[in-house]
Amino acid sequence: MAVPGTRALDRFTDRQTAVLAAGVAAVLAAAVYLNALDNPFVFDDDLEILQNPSIEHLTNFLFVFRFSITRPVVNFSYALDYALWGGRSAFGYHVTNLFLHVLNVVLLFALARYRARDRGQPGPGASSAGPTLTAFTVASVFAVHPLLTEAVGYVSSRSDLLCASFFLTSMLCFRRAFVGSGARWLAGGLAAFVLAMGTKETAAMLPFVLLAYDGLVLRNVGSTKARVWPVHLTLVISVLAAGIGRVWLYLAVEHPDATRFQWQNVLVVLHVVARYLTLLVAPVSQSLIPAVYPILTFSDSRAVAAVGLIALMSTIAVLEHRREPLVTFGIVWFLVLLLPSSLLVLVADKGAPMAEHRVYLASCGFFMAVGALVARLAGSEETTANRRRRPALVVALCAVLAVLSGLTVSRNRVWADPVRLWADAVEKAPRTWEAVYGLADAYRTTGDQTAAEATYQRAIALRPGLVKGYLGLAGSLLDTGRVEQASEVLRLAIARVPSDTKARLLLAALDEESLHDPGGALRLCQEVLAFVPAMAEARECVRRNQQKLSTPQR
């Protein structure tokens, strides 16, 4: 006899209920981001959209492709937005981001449900509620988790959203091909994989995730060994070859001056992975520019904590690979998908070590592991104890979703105001140059030049060897007509960074146009040519000022 109050859970068995559960998760995703649709462009949106001429030419595919040759699919999506929304209104671009997030919620629900079903057919006394409950847990938490607000609410994180869309689609297609549905699904998986690679380098990890899925989840479906060479090894070898070539090109051609491998960066990467884990469990103190400082020794408390946490996670994956391989698969997914973002830090000491949007696709694995644990608590057998436990789990899940939704809505409000966003970053990372400089730029954009100049000075004090801070301060001074003071700042920049060309060119323009000193402008441009002989802008400056000096003054 059924336990009272569990009849609704009993209906978690058919396709209609699965569709309803996926729809609820999708609605949750849309609801928590409604207050982000009116947010402005911020940070890299300036370069990606506002100063991107290629998005104005949707039908000029070559121009769109060449402007962003490593992520052409993303650039094409911006061009579609430009055509669809009639220009560069931030609202339309946010709508597209939200649509992609909702789509990813549905795709993740489908993959999580198939994954739970592929784990094995239920026994005679088993409940068929498990796959749908697992999928809803995974998709709904993914839909509303505040750690994903940067990926969804920040337009320039479109690459993470699109990559996830194609990645999940590819996984679903390959899964369908592996369970015996024909070569057309295999072709669909390959096509989606190629498109994912055209959005973000993270997609290169798909062959490894797919291999883990086949070995852990589908090990009782067909012959995994028969798929190793024609599918798995072909994909893995292709990705490894492309990855080695890309790293060589980056180090040998694009950035030959990049710092080579430093073992301390391994500690930083482990610390960042641990930070992502803690933020997924307790999403507090989020920041646009997370404070990540160097770790020099293994005895550093941050290194000890990171190694311990990742070791614990890895131990769980090993112990669970037979009893509950869905947990192991989720952990493998999470760790593997974080590798690409760590690569530049490891091999070249380049790039920001941490950014919240990078965990968007990786978090799917974490949520899958959590969903599998929830399914275990719910139990697979139709016993009285399990029937009594499930309503409590549903109530607990609803409470978690309510808390996460509130945090997401609150975080969206921070992104609504650039000054507030950057001030929040400075408050949480006061010694981070990028945060302080970003706040100065935000003040300048809003017209608060007094606050901007003070904050630029703070940025210069943090990194006196970076010319960008001086250029920002000089620009703020010029905004209010203080040419002489701007010239002094630029001369200070040249004195501190003698090899810089940008400060010289700007100072030359001031000498020529505002201070009426063609001799000073000529000297500065000649100095630029000494560093970069082929610079057309400096050559034109020299020609123009030589002509002025040779023309008799009236």
The 10s digit of each residue's pLDDT in 82-97 is 999 988 899 999 999 9
Of the three residues 415, 445, 476, the one that is the final residue of a domain is 415
Pairwise CA distance, residues 93 & 78, whole Å: 8
- Check: CB of residue 425 under 8 Å from CB of residue 439: yes
If one compares 493 and 70, the residue with the highest pLDDT of the two is 493
- Check: CB of residue 74 under 8 Å from CB of residue 199: yes
The tokens for 492 are: 């200070």
Q: Do 367 and 505 reside in the same domain of the chain?
A: no
Phi-psi region of 223 (alpha: psi -120 to 50; beta: other; left: phi over 0): beta
- Check: CB of residue 475 under 8 Å from CB of residue 494: no
Q: Do 294 and 145 reside in the same domain of the chain?
A: yes
- List pLDDT tens digits, range 465-513: 999 999 999 999 999 999 999 999 999 999 999 888 999 999 999 988 8
Pairwise CA distance, residues 505 & 365, whole Å: 49
Comparing C-alpha atoms, which of 206, 208, 452, 254 is closest to residue 351? Answer: 254
Residue that has been written with the tokens 């104890």 in this structure = 385
Q: What pLDDT is recorded for position 225?
A: 66
Indicate if the alpha-carbon torsion angle 271, 273, 276, 281 is positive or negative. Answer: negative
- Check: CB of residue 295 under 8 Å from CB of residue 302: yes
φ/ψ of residue 363, rounded to 5 = -60, -25
Indicate if the alpha-carbon torsion angle 44, 46, 50, 51 is positive or negative. Answer: negative
Q: What share of the chain is helix, strand, coil (3-state, %, to 5)?
A: 75, 0, 25
Burial of residue 472, with CB atoms counted within 10 A of its CB: 0-12 exposed, 13-18 middle, 19 or more buried: buried
List alpha helices for 119-157, DSSP H.
129-144, 149-153
If one compares 274 and 221, the residue with the highest pLDDT of the two is 274
DSSP 96-132: HHHHHHHHHHHHHHHHHHHHHHHT----TTB-THHHH
Number of domains, the chain: 2
Pairwise CA distance, residues 326 & 364, whole Å: 12
Q: What pLDDT is recorded for position 133?
A: 84
Residues contacting residue 542 through CB under 8 Å, at least 6 positions apart:
522, 525, 526, 529
Q: What pLDDT is recorded for position 250?
A: 66
- Band of residue 121 on the pLDDT scale cut at 50, 70, 90: very low
Q: Is the pLDDT of residue 413 over 60?
A: yes
Query: Is residue 81 domain-resident?
Result: no
Query: Is residue 117 domain-resident?
Result: yes
Q: Do 109 and 240 reside in the same domain of the chain?
A: yes
Of the three residues 415, 444, 474, the one that is the final residue of a domain is 415
Query: Is residue 79 domain-resident?
Result: no
DSSP SS3 for 381: strand
φ/ψ of residue 447, rounded to 5 = 90, 5
pLDDT mean over 154-158:
94
Query: Is residue 121 domain-resident?
Result: yes
Across 24-38, 247-261, 316-330, least confident range? 247-261
Q: Is the pLDDT of residue 5 over 70?
A: no
Most distant CA pair in the chain, distance: 107
Query: Is residue 94 domain-resident?
Result: yes
Q: What pLDDT is recorded for position 390?
A: 73
Q: How far is CA 47 from CA 52, 156, 310, 503, in A?
A: 6, 9, 36, 21
pLDDT mean over 149-167:
95
Pairwise CA distance, residues 418 & 41, whole Å: 9
DSSP SS3 for 189: helix
Residues contacting residue 207 through CB under 8 Å, at least 6 positions apart:
232, 235, 236, 238, 239
Q: Do 523 and 391 reside in the same domain of the chain?
A: no
Query: Is residue 494 domain-resident?
Result: no
Residues contacting residue 225 through CB under 8 Å, at least 6 positions apart:
none
Q: What pLDDT is recorded for position 308?
A: 93
Cβ-count burial 435-468 (b if 16+ within 10 Å, e if not): bbbbbbbbbbeeeebebbbebbebbbebeeebbb
- Check: CB of residue 476 under 8 Å from CB of residue 490: no
pLDDT mean over 70-83:
93
Report the percent of the chain where pLDDT is more than 70.
Answer: 86
Q: Is the pLDDT of residue 2 over 50?
A: no
Average pLDDT, the chain: 86
Across 62-71, 224-233, 510-519, least confident range? 224-233
Q: Is the pLDDT of residue 80 over 60?
A: yes
Pairwise CA distance, residues 170 & 194, whole Å: 9
Residues facing residue 126 across a β-bridge: 381
Q: Do 402 and 533 reside in the same domain of the chain?
A: no
Query: Is residue 348 domain-resident?
Result: yes
Q: Do 323 and 210 reside in the same domain of the chain?
A: yes
pLDDT mean over 414-423:
95
Residues facing residue 381 across a β-bridge: 126
* Residues written for the chain: 554
- List pLDDT tens digits, range 212-271: 998 888 876 666 666 766 788 888 888 888 777 777 766 666 656 655 656 677 888 899
Q: Which domain does 177 fall in, by range?
A: 24-41+88-415
Query: Is residue 529 domain-resident?
Result: yes
Q: Which helix (H) or strand (E) holds 310?
A: helix 301-323
Phi-psi region of 352 (alpha: psi -120 to 50; beta: other; left: phi over 0): beta
Of the three residues 415, 450, 484, the one that is the final residue of a domain is 415
- Check: CB of residue 524 under 8 Å from CB of residue 509: no
- List pLDDT tens digits, range 276-295: 999 999 998 899 998 888 88
Across 139-148, 223-232, 434-443, 457-466, least confident range? 223-232
pLDDT mean over 439-458:
94
- List pLDDT tens digits, range 162-195: 999 999 999 999 998 888 777 889 999 999 999 9
SS3 string, 194-241, reads HHHHCCCHHHHHHHHHHHHHHHHCCCCCCCHHHHHHHHHHHHHHHHHH
Report the percent of the chain where pLDDT is more than 90.
Answer: 51
Neighbours of 257 (CB within 10 A): 6
Q: What is the DSSP letter of 36?
A: G
- Check: CB of residue 37 under 8 Å from CB of residue 152: no
Q: Do 379 and 516 reside in the same domain of the chain?
A: no
The amino acid sitting at 47 is L
Radius of gyration of the chain (CA): 27
Q: What pLDDT is recorded for position 67?
A: 87
Q: What pLDDT is recorded for position 232?
A: 81
Inter-axis angle of helices 206-216 and 234-249, to 10 degrees? 150
- Check: CB of residue 149 under 8 Å from CB of residue 415: yes
